């Protein structure tokens, strides 16, 4: 069983950047995105400091963020990767199922992958990750190599911390039928 103190801080840098970006987008009236907390059950508490020191995840969470951008439903998950190969074990079946249903309802679903060693972000449309996911499920490669990714979907942090993902959502909309 996964516990909070063994996995709780993975992705925290990217999530901090996204949370800050979401606040700015909200202040500007451009988007309303909410971080979805992962449901946990506390196991051990530090009563003196009123902190949870050990917990387990109650159930599988769906995605990290959900909301609306200019009236369009949007959901996405944030992942960090410190090498040039993104392991698909970081993506879970329940996330793929949720994103598929979300897209069927007319929403936009995607992953933001932060390649920390390169300090680059990648916007991976649901349809793209679906191809890699299906390949892995059929016994193929269980990771995504950097050279398999479309260079058009890489982007940089602005000012070292702002995640300008709205630009890529616009691009995503333009590529849809």
Binding-site residues for Mg(2+), in ranges, read 62, 64, 77, 95
In three-state form (DSSP H/G/I as H, E/B as E, the rest C), the secondary structure along 91-122 is: CCHHHHHHHHHHHHCCCEEEEEEEECCCCEEE
Take residue 151 and report the two structure tokens written for it: 């260079």
Binding residue ranges? 62, 64, 77, 95
Q: Which residues contact 91 (CB under 8 A, 6 or more apart)?
A: 77, 79, 111, 129, 133
Please, what sign has the CA dihedral across residues 156, 24, 26, 51? Answer: positive
């Amino acid at each position: 069983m996964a516990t909070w103190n063994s996995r709780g801080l993975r992705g925290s840098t990217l999530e901090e950047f996204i949370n800050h970006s979401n606040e700015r987008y909200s202040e500007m009236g451009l988007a309303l995105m909410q971080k979805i907390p992962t449901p946990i059950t506390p196991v051990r508490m530090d009563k003196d400091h009123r902190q949870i020191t050990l917990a387990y995840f109650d159930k599988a969470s769906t995605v990290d963020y959900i909301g609306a951008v200019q009236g369009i439903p949007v959901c996405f998950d944030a992942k960090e990767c410190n090498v040039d190969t993104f392991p698909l074990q970081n993506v879970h079946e329940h996330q793929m199922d949720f994103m598929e249903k979300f897209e069927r309802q007319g929403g936009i679903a995607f992953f933001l992958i932060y390649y920390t060693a390169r300090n680059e972000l990648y916007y991976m449309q649901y349809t793209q990750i679906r191809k890699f996911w299906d390949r892995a499920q059929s016994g193929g490669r269980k990771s995504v190599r950097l050279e398999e990714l479309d260079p058009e979907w890489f982007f940089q942090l602005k000012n070292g911390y702002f995640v300008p993902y709205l630009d890529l959502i616009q691009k995503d909309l333009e590529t849809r039928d």
